[in-house]
Chain A
Amino acid sequence: MKTCEKYKNLIEKYIEGTISNQHLAELKTHTEACKSCHDEFERCVLVQDFVKEALSSQTSAEQAEASIVARLSEEPKIRPAPIRFDTILYSGRRAAIAASILLIVGLSLGFALGMTAKSARTQLTAQVPISVGKIEGTVLVRHEGSDFWQALETGSNVHLGDTFHSAAKSVCRLEFEDESTIELNQNSMLVLKSFNGQTQFFLEHGECTAALESPHGPFFIDTPHGRVEALGTEFTVTVIDK
């Protein structure tokens, strides 16, 4: 049994792709004599083969290469923008000119808008790299500066200052670029207060569950009663009105 324990570990290493050739040969020899290890190892090989076979493409890698290279030649618009060291200074100067132009245009626009459309305050704030994943039931969103609630849809963009409200028996999941998620449970209200560097949400009422990918930067959930800082990877915050 003790010997089998050793070979079970080798099977785990085989799954991980970290087994050495010597250990693999040793494992194969053992499986010829041990039925339990033989079955386990065979299942493992079969699962790998099944996945590889079922997800294999009808187009071979060579055909795909030829087809994509042909498309790149046919469509000269598709070009990578190479960054070379000798052009960094030139790029920097270009960037400075572009920034100045943008600043002037921005100032002029800001001035013009301030003069003519003081009431138009429903401009969307900066979009953040969060997308709306699974939604069940009715979840509403209100952008900052707007008085209107609209139904949240899967794949919608998320902006700074957005307020999410989930109705009864409704949940929604917000997905971050690093695969972290925050799930808003039913009858809850959550506001995205700030993002860059310090992701900060305000849970006004209800419940939300965060599952963070590690390592993660500073991540806070404020509530009317105090602040919760993420130290681990999964936690749930509940605000009870008492």
Chain B
Amino acid sequence: MTTEQKQNDTGDQQLVRAALLGETSAFGAIVEKYWNMVAALALSKVSDSTEAEDIAQESFLKAYSQLSSLKDPSRLAGWLSRITIQQCSNSLRKTLRSKKALGCRITPVKELDYLPAMSANPGLTKNQVHFVRQTVKKLPEKFRTLIILRFVAGFSTVKIAEQLGKRPGTVRVRLHRAYKLLRKDLAPLLEEVGS
């Protein structure tokens, strides 16, 4: 473990301890630190940006109310990612149920996929953002989480393994498999941008 990682983990532990003592500002710091990761995880599961941000907020509120159940505060990021994935599944299930209850036709995934995609970054066009999101969304869950923890949260495979309680070798192999899939599916975009 590098010095930076150690400091980071100690920081998380201190923030969790302070939040448990009722310091909302400490929890605010946790939100600020992990917002991008949590929002990206939500965005990779639901197509609508507003819904994804709602899920991200709800995930943080749930995490706050369940903070005392976090056994190892140094694994805060992994714990938050699990809560977010669970919140996404709950939200998708709820939407499906309410649509069924209202007698609505369930919108096929393909139609949902064509909802407008918005990004905070103007580097990619709307269509390109949509294309990348759909490509990430198509990845199996275990690959998708790794891609986000690595490329969005910026964790190394070693840190991801610690956070998720997995072997570093497993994480490394999966990340490379995920990357290969991404590179293959994003090839048209890579060519477009490269040309």
B-contacting residues of A (Cβ < 8 Å)?
A: 12, 15-18, 42-44, 46-62, 64-69, 71-73, 78-83, 131, 154-155, 179, 213-215
> Could you name 15 residue pairs across A and B whose Cβ atoms are closer than 8 Å?
A12-B176, A16-B176, A47-B151, A53-B119, A56-B119, A57-B53, A58-B118, A59-B120, A61-B31, A64-B56, A72-B27, A73-B24, A154-B93, A179-B142, A214-B170
Considering the complex, which residues of chain B in the window 111-166 have a beta carbon less than 8 Å from any beta carbon of chain A? 117-121, 123-124, 128-129, 132-133, 136, 141-142, 147-148, 150-152, 154-159, 166
Q: Which residues of A lie under 8 Å from residue B141 when comparing CB positions?
A: 179
Known A-B contacts A16-B172, A67-B57; A51 and B136 likewise in contact (beta carbons under 8 Å): yes
Known A-B contacts A54-B133, A69-B25; A17 and B186 likewise in contact (beta carbons under 8 Å): no
What 1/0 flags go to B27-70 for Cβ under 8 Å of A?
Answer: 11101110110011001100001001100110011001111100
Tell me, in angstroms, the Cα distance from A69 to B64 when the chains sit together. 11
Whether the Cβ atoms of B120 and A18 lie closer than 8 Å is no
Main secondary structure of the interface of B (DSSP, over half): helix
Whether the Cβ atoms of A52 and B152 lie closer than 8 Å is yes
Whether the Cβ atoms of A50 and B132 lie closer than 8 Å is yes
Tell me, in angstroms, the Cα distance from A131 to B89 when the chains sit together. 11
Known A-B contacts A18-B158, A68-B28; A50 and B170 likewise in contact (beta carbons under 8 Å): no
Whether the Cβ atoms of B190 and A65 lie closer than 8 Å is no
Q: Which residues of A lie under 8 Å from residue B43 when comparing CB positions?
A: 55, 57
Q: Which residues of B lie under 8 Å from residue A213 when comparing CB positions?
A: 166
Having A68-B57, A214-B170, one finds 7 other A-B pairs with CB under 8 Å, namely A44-B183, A47-B151, A50-B189, A53-B119, A56-B152, A78-B61, A82-B21
Whether the Cβ atoms of B157 and A69 lie closer than 8 Å is no
B167 at the interface (CB under 8 A from A): yes
A-contacting residues of B (Cβ < 8 Å)?
A: 19-22, 24-25, 27-29, 31-33, 35-36, 39-40, 43-44, 49, 52-53, 56-57, 60-61, 64-68, 89, 93, 96, 117-121, 123-124, 128-129, 132-133, 136, 141-142, 147-148, 150-152, 154-159, 166-167, 170, 172, 175-176, 179, 182-183, 186, 189-190, 193-194
Q: Which residues of A lie under 8 Å from residue B44 when comparing CB positions?
A: 55
Whether the Cβ atoms of B32 and A61 lie closer than 8 Å is yes
Whether the Cβ atoms of B24 and A72 lie closer than 8 Å is yes
Q: Which residues of B lie under 8 Å from residue A57 when comparing CB positions?
A: 35-36, 39-40, 43, 49, 52-53, 56, 120
Of the residues A16, A53, A62, contact of B32 by C-beta under 8 Å: A62
Tell me, in angstroms, the Cα distance from A215 to B167 when the chains sit together. 8
Name, among A18, A56, A131, the residue most crowded by chain B CB atoms within 10 Å (CB to CB). A56
Whether the Cβ atoms of B24 and A69 lie closer than 8 Å is yes
What is the chain B residue whose CB lies nearest that of A71? B61
Tell me, in angstroms, the Cα distance from A69 to B19 when the chains sit together. 11
Of the residues B19, B35, B40, B179, contact of A55 by C-beta under 8 Å: B40
Tell me, in angstroms, the Cα distance from A152 to B67 when the chains sit together. 33
Tell me, in angstroms, the Cα distance from A214 to B60 when the chains sit together. 29
Q: Which residues of A lie under 8 Å from residue B56 when comparing CB positions?
A: 57, 64
Whether the Cβ atoms of A50 and B175 lie closer than 8 Å is no
Q: Which residues of A lie under 8 Å from residue B25 when comparing CB positions?
A: 69
A22 nearest CB across to chain B (Å):
14
Whether the Cβ atoms of A53 and B175 lie closer than 8 Å is no
Of the residues B89, B156, B158, contact of A155 by C-beta under 8 Å: B89
